[in-house]
Amino acid sequence: MARVINDTTAAPPHASVDMEVPVKWSAQGLEQASKGADGVKNHLVVDAALRAVVFAASAAAVVVMVTSKQSKMIPVSPTMAVSLDANWNQSPAYIYYVSAFSVAGLYSIVTGFFSVFTLKKTGVISTKMQFHLAILDSLLLSILSSAIGAELGVAYVGLKGNSHSFWKEICNAYGSFCHHLSATSTMAIISDIALLLLVWLSYYTLLKKIARP
């Protein structure tokens, strides 16, 4: 009789296996969640770093452009020369360029502080806010690209001239002014590339959130 009682109270051999399965799956789920949180934080770190690059390059582009003024004595006759200035505010394309990159610098400050604040406080940015940032980044990218195109178009005429329109090159006389244009163009392109990477990062983050089960 005692033998029968011992047999019925003994645990079946597969009971320990059944108990280990949910524990194993829960551990894997926690590990995947931890990896996902680390990935989001890494995206926020990269986002903040790229916005810092956009600010630094945009600010440098604006400063170099607005300090590009150069005065030169230009001969108008064999016995007379007049002082002529080459300045950024003489061209609507350059004014648009300075305005666009000033807005880009201010925008990168605001969104950069937002990224740093989100990283320190929660480490997670909402999908809705990520979508809004992606739209705004794309809009600013198109504005900066058009500003760079306008600036480079006028700068090329200053460098090479246009014989069909009888526009003479000025870089042979205003060397310092043209060096400023070259430097500001380099800074502008760096800012534009950083903003493009920001747009790609935003859409990549959104894609991962949508594809997440």
Per-residue pLDDT at 1:
43
Q: Give the chain's length.
A: 213
Task: Quote the pTM value.
Answer: 0.76
Domain ranges of the chain: 36-68+88-211
Q: How many CA atoms lie within 13 A of 155 on its CB side?
A: 23
Per-residue pLDDT at 73:
75
Whether the CB-CB separation of 185 and 152 falls below 8 Å is answered with yes
Per-residue pLDDT at 202 exceeds 80 = yes
Per-residue pLDDT at 55:
96
Share of the chain above pLDDT 90, in %: 42
pLDDT tier for residue 24 given thresholds of 50, 70 and 90: very low
pLDDT tens digits, 119-166: 777 766 777 888 889 999 999 999 999 999 999 999 999 888 887 877
Rg (CA), the chain: 31
Per-residue pLDDT at 12 exceeds 80 = no
User: What crossing angle do the helices spanning 175-211 and 127-160 adopt, rounded to 10°?
Assistant: 160
Per-residue pLDDT at 152:
94
Per-residue pLDDT at 41:
66
Per-residue pLDDT at 20:
47
| Greatest distance between any 2 Cα atoms in the chain | 133
Per-residue pLDDT at 200:
93
Please give the distance of CA 33 from its chain centroid, rounded to a whole number: 28
Per-residue pLDDT at 58 exceeds 70 = yes
Mean pLDDT value of segment 58-86: 84
